[in-house]
Chains A and B, each alone.
Chain A
Amino acid sequence: MTFSGFQLLRNALNGGTGWTPHWRKAEPKPAYDVVIVGGGGHGLATAHYLAKDFGVNNVAVIEKGWIGSGNAGRNTTIIRSNYLLPGNIPFYELGMKLWEGLEQDLNYNAMVSQRGVLNLCHSDAQRDAFARRGNAMRLHGVDAELIDREAVRGMAPYLDFDNARFPIIGGLVQRRGGTARHDAVVWGYARAADKRGVDIIENCEATGLRSEGGKIVGVETTKGFVGANRVGLSVAGNSSRVAALADMRLPIETYALQAFVTESIKPLIDCVVTFGAGHFYISQSDKGSLVFGGDLDPFPSYAQRGSLHVFSDVAENAMAVMPMLGRLRILRSWGGVMDMSMDGSPIIDATPIEGLFFNGGWCYGGFKATPAAGFCFAHLIAKGEPHQAAAPFRLDRFATGRVIDEKGVGATPNLH
């Protein structure tokens, strides 16, 4: 079914009986051209672009739980391309352009909302750094605006401008940034991929990666062996565990990142705001809840929940920038497990095993990258060579010294 105004009207009149499931419940066939391990946003986007843009339709996506049950459903839904380094800006801007056309491409309402992302600065040095980042973005054709304190006040009058320690002196705005409905992104990609013949196999965990003579031949799963001479891994926080099935060690550590929502309130925050003196970001969902997050838990963790002391740190950040938040009640908190790479940048590359490809190391920025990561990973799997925008995201860059240290503090293993 194609969604349209006419379908909406028709189903409104017939009690919604015309709606059909968005994707089939597929069972694995003995073999495919490509198997994608991981049914999150990235894996499903990869399958969609493989089928739509690269002519590879005989594809399975296998997922150990239900699709979107990992980090795709646990993030704070922010989309942006306000990066600094040449290795990162073109990639994230490719992603932003794909976000802008996503709903037409998928025929699905992903609630992409370009409400703007406002990064606050609190010192002259930080404003200089923002000017540099904004200029780097504009040189790459990305929109960026450095605004002063009064302009920030116009956008977000509720912030604590006169905080003694962290006065707000300005901000960097990317107006094309914003939010998207994370679950709808997953469902939209799943539906679009399914329509092109991709099998989405849920409750099917990869238990082994079978290779012969250095070439991948398929995936052992809890639903039996599935043959494929091209396999893509897209499993976020579980990257090291799945790579270990092929005896690979990765430049990745897994950490828990928490997110929080408050009770619903009337419209207050009409953009995404990030606090520059700590690590805190907040937006308001269309239901009215304020959605926010901060730092990782400090030790490696595969638990999809976080520590209380990190929550109290996030809450202190919140109070420093937006004291009114102290009057709201927190409804829920949850955690996702992040694949933190050693330089803070992702990996989209072939592996030493022929036919086995890897997409991971997204740190806590995987959601915004969903369309671009899917597109570039599909390009790599279909053509055997990297897409230009993702060419720097190599697996061997740590050995060759070509790290992409976006934070400008050097290669920082142990510093997450």
Chain B
Amino acid sequence: MLINCPYCGPRDLLEFTVKGEARARPDAAADLDSEASRAGFVDAVYLRDNPAGRHKEHWLHASGCQSWLVIERDTRTHEIFGASLVASDAEGAKS
């Protein structure tokens, strides 16, 4: 499986570490003791969409440029639809 790193180009899967579903973190500025905030944290830490199909994930190019990437991948076929830097991804920017 090759992953097209925005810095390094196509590199082998074994250079990367996967960190799971890419999604926004809960708002740390909110009242942390409120019910809504707690529910938000439980949701972010424990609950997953876990789709069979396209899935946006955080990957670390650990043995390469060490960039955090957002990769969209099909969890049934492992086809990769693109990799972008977390910093340039609107959803990833918050995470």
Contact = CB atoms under 8 A, between A and B. Distances in A.
Interface residues of B, number: 27
Interface string B70-85: 0001011110000000
Interface string A391-404: 00000001100000
Interface in A296-323: 298-303, 307, 309
A119 to B, nearest CB: 28
A229 B83 CA distance: 45
A413 B14 contact: no
A250 interface: yes
Contacts of B43: 249
B46 A398 contact: yes
A253 B20 contact: yes
Given A301-B75, A302-B76, A307-B1, A414 B50 contact: no
A251 B18 CA distance: 18
Interface string B3-23: 000000000011001111100
B47 A299 contact: no
Contact of A342 (B39, B46, B49, B55): B46
B14 A300 contact: no
A304 to B, nearest CB: 10
A254 interface: yes
Classify the interface of chain A: helix, strand, loop or mixed. Answer: mixed
Interface string A243-273: 0100001111110000000000000000000
Interface in B42-66: 42-43, 45-52, 55, 57
B45 A300 contact: no
Contacts, number: 71
B78 A303 contact: yes
Which of B20, B47, B57 lies at the interface centre, i.e. has the most chain A CB atoms within 10 A of its CB? B47
A251 B47 contact: yes
Given A240-B48, A398-B46, A300 B20 contact: yes
B20 A302 contact: no
A251 B73 contact: no
A238 interface: yes
- Classify the interface of chain B: helix, strand, loop or mixed: mixed
A241 interface: yes
Contacts of B78: 299, 301, 303
Nearest to A299: B18
A14 B25 CA distance: 70
A247 B43 CA distance: 14
Contact of A309 (B13, B39, B46): B13
B45 A254 contact: no
Given A300-B57, A302-B76, A303-B76, A414 B46 contact: no
Contacts of B39: 399
Contacts of B49: 240, 244, 249
A299 B73 contact: yes
B20 A241 contact: no
Contacts of B75: 254, 300-303
11 contacts: A240-B49, A240-B50, A249-B48, A252-B50, A299-B18, A299-B73, A300-B55, A307-B1, A307-B13, A309-B13, A399-B39
Interface of A: 238, 240-241, 244, 249-254, 298-303, 307, 309, 342, 398-399, 411, 413-414
Given A252-B50, A299-B18, A309-B13, 18 more contacts: A238-B52, A249-B49, A250-B48, A250-B50, A251-B46, A251-B47, A251-B48, A253-B21, A299-B57, A299-B73, A300-B21, A301-B75, A301-B78, A302-B75, A303-B76, A398-B42, A399-B42, A413-B45
